[in-house]
Structure 1
Amino acid sequence: MSTFVKIKALKPSLSSSEAKLADFTLNSGAKIRSLSSVELARQAGVSQSSVVKFAQKLGYKGFPAFKLAVIDDLNLLTVQPETTLTQITHTDPIHSIALKLLSHQQGILHETHKLNDAEQFEQAIVALKSARKILLCAVGGSFTMAQDFALKLQKIGLPAIAQTDELSAASYIATMGKDDLLIAISDSGQSKAVLRVARQAKNNHCSILSLSRYGSNPLNELACIKLFNVIGEEPVKHASILTRTSQSYLIDVLFTGLTQSNLRWQKRADKANEHVYDIRHS
């Protein structure tokens, strides 16, 4: 998992000392190759203990492991340089908006890929395959993604339902237990309605798969399986364009992995598409 991507994902939740270390790593990462933890602390203007805590927050045992991960990322960038993203402005003509948005979405897709490893996807697919019931819960813009995923799962015959109404979701959760799966989608990981349903699912011993931002948040703490979406700087405030791009990638990887793992499910998806085509063109 890319260290630079993890740092970008965590930036909104970092303390002032951690933010200084994050900026130093992202902007002057090459310098870290030759620095000790004491020297990094001095150059970033923080204490040495802050350096150690920052490394641990990123999932490393200490500074040496963090330093090696940064070097690995730097080596990768020499082979695959990062694309510089240009902000969309109100003076841009529509063809420039289209090209810039495409560039931003491609960047979000690459970061989402780097933030999630194969083992996380495999755990999620196993949970989906073995679930007796599947409930997808989300609110706001994330509900469109939950509904899309539920329809995809229904196409291959999996017992999935999406609920945006908390009371309906709570009623359904009451019928679920240890053999069932809740998929909770919240880009912040702090949606009160989603968290209440997730806590009820936890009390009923359901498995919980979260699709949320990377890092520590209440939803990730409840989940036994976690996939991470990327929160990018949106071209239009509160539109969740790039968040949906990231969430859609996670959902499509899971759905494609499911269908490719079972020939019968591939045939079911084909048959469902044929029925939809007949309805639309009859």
Structure 2
Amino acid sequence: MIFERIRQVYPFLTKSHQRLADYFAASYREAAFLTASALADKLGMNEATVIRFAQRIGYRGYPEMMADIVQAVREELGLRERERAPHAAALMTYVQAEMERARWVLSHLPDDIPAVWQALRQARRIYVIGQGASAALAHLLAYALRSRGLSAENPPADALSLQMILPEVTAHCAAVAVALGPESGEVAHFLRRAREQGAWSLAFVASPISPCALAAEEVLLCGEEGRPSFGAAALLMEAIVQGMHREGTPWKPDEATLSRPLDEEYPPKKG
């Protein structure tokens, strides 16, 4: 496949060839309908450069490379079925299962998602807490919110750290918990105290009766019958962030803030 060929040689390509590689990686469906001449005109380069690129990444020429791309597009559109290796079939089974879980999550979304967007937009500071295996998702969500110009932090989920930041959580803040696995109680306690102090709270959970679900003001289910789906949770988080942008949150990334690691304000404890 063309993407694997590009990946293997990308660091060694010329600047012109890297431009072509970037284009194919981002717009290969569009490229499937372009001749070498049309692609060269689109990118403002010589047609010979396009042809040499195809040869540089291992094809005999431009037509062979385009045949590979067209085949990939056809398979994506379901125009041609092929026998899959056992490992590919297993992977497809998993992907389809995750898609079903994502559909279940969508079917159980609350009606007031715009209220979630509004609460996050209006918060002066958003604390995103991830418990256990959910910590990585919480980290990514905090970064995504920051990339939209919002003040989001990702403090550790241990009892001492949460107790230390509770005085900062006011009515102008939002507390978001990501707790898809077993819960130890500290994050639910943090949500409960945050609500008592006037903060808005949201929980991504697998069960509607989990401690965090019972403590939060708003709940987003990310699992069917108590079985968490990390893939569905990630999709839901991305949809919420993208939805906020479309609903009016301006795209104003603070480069200085984004370049600072999320854990800089809350460094890991030593010892």
| Alignment TM-score, normalising by the size of structure 2 | 0.57
Q: 1:207-264: CA deviations, max 9, x gaps?
A: 1111112432322222111111114798xxxxxxx62112112201110111112263
Conserved in 1, the CA contact under 8 Å of 2:149 and 2:250?
no
- Counterpart of 1:152 in structure 2 is 144
For residues 199 and 114 of structure 1, the distance between their equivalents in structure 2, rounded to whole angstroms, comes to: 27
- Counterpart of 1:246 in structure 2 is 232
Higher helix share: 1
- Counterpart of 2:170 in structure 1 is 177
Correspondence 1:9-20 to 2 at 5 A: none
Provide the secondary structure at the position in 2 that maps to 1:163.
coil
Letter in 2 for 1:186: A
For residues 249 and 195 of structure 2, the distance between their equivalents in structure 1, rounded to whole angstroms, comes to: 33
Conserved in 1, the CA contact under 8 Å of 2:207 and 2:225?
no
For residues 189 and 206 of structure 1, the distance between their equivalents in structure 2, rounded to whole angstroms, comes to: 24
- Counterpart of 1:25 in structure 2 is none
Which of 194, 198, 223 does residue 187 from structure 2 map onto?
Answer: 194
Q: 1:67-126: CA deviations, max 9, x gaps?
A: xxxxxxxxxxxxxxxxxxxxxxxxx93112211111111111111111114x33212111
Provide the secondary structure at the position in 2 that maps to 1:103.
helix
- Counterpart of 2:153 in structure 1 is 161
Q: Number of aligned pairs? A: 172
Correspondence 1:1-282 to 2 at 5 A: 93-117=86-110, 119-166=111-158, 167-187=160-180, 190-231=183-224, 243-262=229-248, 264-265=250-251, 268-269=252-253
**Structure exhibiting the larger radius of gyration computed from Cα positions:** 2
For residues 214 and 232 of structure 1, the distance between their equivalents in structure 2, rounded to whole angstroms, comes to: 7
| Alignment TM-score, normalising by the size of structure 1 | 0.55
Give the unaligned 5+ runs of structure 1.
1-91, 235-241, 277-282
**TM-fit CA distance, 1:194:** 1.1
For residues 263 and 190 of structure 1, the distance between their equivalents in structure 2, rounded to whole angstroms, comes to: 32
Letter in 2 for 1:253: A
4+ runs of 1 displaced by more than 6 Å? Answer: none
Provide the secondary structure at the position in 1 that maps to 2:161.
helix
Letter in 2 for 1:125: W
- Compared CA separation, residues 94 and 121, structure 1 to 2 (3 A): same
CA RMSD of aligned residues (A): 2.5
Aligned residues with identical type, % of pairs: 16
For residues 114 and 166 of structure 2, the distance between their equivalents in structure 1, rounded to whole angstroms, comes to: 24
Conserved in 2, the CA contact under 8 Å of 1:189 and 1:220?
no
Conserved in 2, the CA contact under 8 Å of 1:123 and 1:225?
no
**TM-fit CA distance, 1:132:** 1.1
For residues 182 and 240 of structure 2, the distance between their equivalents in structure 1, rounded to whole angstroms, comes to: 20
Q: 1:25-47: CA deviations, max 9, x gaps?
A: xxxxxxxxxxxxxxxxxxxxxxx
Provide the secondary structure at the position in 2 that maps to 1:112.
helix
Provide the secondary structure at the position in 1 that maps to 2:168.
coil
- Counterpart of 1:85 in structure 2 is none
